[in-house]
Structure 1
Amino acid sequence: MKVLIVTYYWPPAGGPGVQRWLKFVKYLRDFNVEPIVFTAENPTYPITDVSLENEVPEGIEIVKCPIIEPNRILSKIKKENTQKSLGFLNPNPTLVDKALMYIRANYFIPDARKFWIRPSVKALKKYLSENKVDVVITTGPPYSVHLIGLKLKQQLKLKWIADFRDPWTSVDYFHLLPLTKKSLQKHYDLEEKVVKEADGVLMVSNHAKKKYEKKAKIIEVITNGFDDDGEKGKEEVVLDSKFTLTYIGMMSSERNPENLWEVLSEIAKENDEFANDFVLRFVGKVDNIISKRIKTSCIKNVEEVGYVPHHKAKQYQQQSQVLLIVVNNYPSAKEMIPGKTFEYLQAKRPVIGIGPEKGSLAEIIMEVGSGNVFSYDNKKDLKEFILNLYSQYKDGGVPNITGGIEKYHRKNLTKNLVNFIKRVS
């Protein structure tokens, strides 16, 4: 069986967007499925990680098509108006910021990669006329990729699976877009068309699935996961000597857990020993707004490591005393399970989550018993949880979490994917 995977994010792209299908491709051959990857020839990635190129299986066919990136032009216009915030929207926008965001929201639907749709459909029609595949799979965001699949489905009557790494109109930044009513409706219409016309739809959480399940022909949840990455046989991890709380990934202005900073500041103010023992570590970019906010607190020890290659980020996860994960506070936050969640579980360190207490993230964390998730305004329980972890740290060390996580291994998830592909095809 052959499957053609259409994805914008592919090594050397870094960040979470590339991991899901890089790992599926790694294991598909184990289940007698041959993957072919179709991706952009000259993309503009916000983060690159060339080390991920080493994970692409040898001999995989990769087909590329040039892309026109409006973001390159927009970035030149904004050169003298550099955004200081890492958030989706500048908290102090100039007229230029507002104008560019309005243009982006209403003239680049579904997103700025829309100009990749037509050339990709043309290139893929030619490829598919010369090469037989059983199923085409599109993965988004960007959601323009799904429109490539939609047009191929309409014109070639092939089998097509749409994989939503994030749900379209309930992704965390969607409600921040300055959309007109007409543009908003266009997003809803395109989303519904993709879900209805795809032969199969994949989601990454049960809460996200609920939105689409009545419209899709076949729909299934296959979460993200973790991989060994050749780690077996490596030296035993040595935990940090300090009481470290580590956050992996971009800490943007919309992902600002104010209750956590307040609780940590309170504990540090009340307990000098905690203040000296505690280290707040960020592995990835941190918004200036958050950096400045933390500096006004009583948190004495803060490390901003910056972006590191994926394998290095996993080392930080494994050596940290406690791990932090945050879901943006937005209307559909219950649907979100950040991709890093499963590598956190693999690290077997306790997890503090900030997000909906009855959301998809909380369900995973509680199922494995790796920690707890606290709502954005829950300071009381969060403080008690941190103090309990600190007490364990002082009394011999915070123990590893040993809950069963094997079903989230990338190979097991790929087996589920292959079963789904067979159902569709």
Structure 2
Amino acid sequence: MRLLVISYFSPADKITGGFRAVSFTKYFPEAGIDISLITSNSKIKDDTDMIQKYNLKTVEITRSIRIRNIGYKIKVLALLELLKLDSFLFFPDIFRFWNRRALKKCQKMLDEQKMDAILVTAPPHSSFYFAAKLAKKNNLPLILDYRDPLSGSPYMFFPPIIKQLVRRKEKKIVNEAKILVTVGEECAKLISDTLSLKDRPIQVIYNGYYEEDKLEVSVEKSNKFTISYFGHFYTLRQKGFEALARGIKLLVTKYNLSPEDIALQYAGKTSRKTLQKILDSAGIADYFNDLGLLSNETLFREISKSILNVVLIPPKTTYTLPTKIYDYAYSNSHILLIGEEGEVSKWCKKVDQQYTHAEIEPEKLTETLWKLYSEWKTGSLNYGCDFQKLKTFSRKNLAIHYAEIIKHELGS
């Protein structure tokens, strides 16, 4: 069996969404399914290590859309996104300008190779549109792989008429698809409710983690109550970080704690000006430690040393499960979940991960932090997860399970 896999993003783009498709190229062959991949970033073909690591034997490139790259460089697209006008001008997304070129390349691949099905992973969701055309034209089963919801997303700011059109188009494509897959139980429920799918099954295949990328480090926990956030920091998570900073300020003021007792740490890519404004506004600059950008052993050492590792869930996004959580779970963590409970808390329970939930309110965060601080001081704060249960979320195990579902559904 061979699948045509369509994924705009790849590891060459260095974003989370780029790694899901290559888990298929890497592991599906072990279950008897070969993959032909089409993606957009030409750098992947020049990286021999990446090709070998992800088993990219058959990969085709259709260049990325220049309007997006140029739009970000001259700040126009960023401004449109800020004003919520991008969804009005480019729906379902700006990546639809990739569709025509990609469709032609995909058809050429289908003409030259015998394919048994088409699997398309999104976002960008516009890829669903041309994948559905390809599947219909070539009489092939279509597998829709949602990494995020489309019309059900609370952050898709479509005008009402456009939203109705997008939802109608999405439901039509979904009804034509043979298999529906997404990355979590909450996301499956959101898609089902939005499109009124009733009893239509949606398979859940988590993003998971590459076992070979996780490093085992042996370090002692910090002798200071360190609260750490690792990962990219963007607007949707800013409210949670601001609440955490103000909550720490209330904590150190109420209980007379010094920078020798407690610290807030951050490592990742974000505007340091924005970060500094948050710290200055909260009045905790003296309690903050900027770790910069970390990777490999240094990253895992800092995660392992930290007392609390923070997961920020933006409002209305209970369906999200940040991939950083796998680093946390692998590193003997106690997770502080700030925001609404949902997929993260469900996942923590699946692997017996130690975590504490806190709402995005400084006063309530202060109470939660004091409770955790007191447990830490008395040596009663628990860390870690069940490693055997965690291993079921390795990308290899998940991909092979995914492949078995496909073979069963397609009658192979």
CA deviation digits over 1:318-363, x for unaligned, max 9? Answer: 3322210111113xx2222223223322223000111213x22222
SS in 1 for 2:72: helix
Counterpart pick for 2:134 among 112, 135, 152: 152
Structure-to-structure mapping, 1:41-80, within 5 angstroms? 41-42=41-42, 53=50, 56-58=53-55, 60-78=57-75
Q: Distance in 2 between matches of 1:126 and 1:325?
A: 44
User: Which residue of the partner structure matches residue 95 of structure 1?
Assistant: none
User: Which residue of the partner structure matches residue 7 of structure 2?
Assistant: 7
Mark the runs of 5 or more structure 1 residues left unpaired by the alignment: 91-97
Mark the runs of 5 or more structure 2 residues left unpaired by the alignment: none
Counterpart pick for 1:304 among 290, 293, 297: 290
Q: Report % sequence identity.
A: 23
- Paired residues of 2:263 and 2:289 also in contact (CA < 8 A): yes
User: Which residue of the partner structure matches residue 421 of structure 1?
Assistant: 406
Deviates more, 1:348-357 or 1:65-74: 65-74
- Paired residues of 1:135 and 1:421 also in contact (CA < 8 A): no
- Paired residues of 1:39 and 1:64 also in contact (CA < 8 A): yes
Deviates more, 1:368-377 or 1:220-229: 368-377
Please report the TM-score for the alignment, with normalisation by the length of structure 1.
0.83
1:329 maps onto 2:315 in alignment = yes
Counterpart pick for 1:277 among 226, 248, 261: 261
CA deviation digits over 1:382-406, x for unaligned, max 9? Answer: 4343223323443458543233323
SS in 2 for 1:229: helix
Q: Which amino acid aligns with 1:144?
A: S
Counterpart pick for 1:141 among 112, 118, 123: 123
- Paired residues of 2:8 and 2:124 also in contact (CA < 8 A): yes
Counterpart pick for 1:186 among 140, 165, 173: 165
Counterpart pick for 1:219 among 202, 224, 247: 202
CA deviation digits over 1:118-137, x for unaligned, max 9? Answer: 11111111111111122221
Counterpart pick for 1:391 among 374, 383, 396: 374
User: Which residue of the partner structure matches residue 39 of structure 1?
Assistant: 39
Deviation at 1:220, TM superposition (A): 0.8
Q: CA separation of 1:342/1:148 partners in 2, compared to 1, >3 Å: closer, same or farther?
A: farther
Q: Which amino acid aligns with 1:259?
A: A
Q: Distance in 2 between matches of 1:250 and 1:321?
A: 20
Q: Which amino acid aligns with 1:304?
A: D
Q: Distance in 2 between matches of 1:56 and 1:180?
A: 43
- Paired residues of 2:264 and 2:287 also in contact (CA < 8 A): yes
- Paired residues of 1:114 and 1:144 also in contact (CA < 8 A): yes
SS in 1 for 2:405: helix
Q: Distance in 2 between matches of 1:55 and 1:268?
A: 51
SS in 2 for 1:139: strand
Deviation at 1:39, TM superposition (A): 0.3
Q: Which amino acid aligns with 2:404?
A: N
- Paired residues of 2:267 and 2:290 also in contact (CA < 8 A): yes
- Paired residues of 2:206 and 2:398 also in contact (CA < 8 A): yes
How many equivalent pairs are there?
A: 397
Once superposed, what is the RMSD of the aligned Cα atoms? 3.0
Please report the TM-score for the alignment, with normalisation by the length of structure 2.
0.85
Q: Which amino acid aligns with 1:409?
A: S
Deviates more, 1:342-351 or 1:366-375: 366-375
Q: CA separation of 1:143/1:314 partners in 2, compared to 1, >3 Å: closer, same or farther?
A: farther
Counterpart pick for 1:167 among 142, 149, 160: 149
Q: CA separation of 1:209/1:235 partners in 2, compared to 1, >3 Å: closer, same or farther?
A: closer
- Paired residues of 1:226 and 1:346 also in contact (CA < 8 A): no
CA deviation digits over 1:77-113, x for unaligned, max 9? Answer: 438x987xxxx954xxxxxxx4xx52x2222111111
Q: Distance in 2 between matches of 1:27 and 1:392?
A: 43
Deviation at 1:51, TM superposition (A): 11
Q: CA separation of 1:185/1:15 partners in 2, compared to 1, >3 Å: closer, same or farther?
A: same
User: Which residue of the partner structure matches residue 344 of structure 2?
Assistant: 361
> After the TM superposition, which parts of structure 1 deviate over 6 Å for at least 4 consecutive aligned residues?
none
- Paired residues of 2:10 and 2:41 also in contact (CA < 8 A): no
- Paired residues of 1:147 and 1:194 also in contact (CA < 8 A): yes
Q: Distance in 2 between matches of 1:245 and 1:263?
A: 12
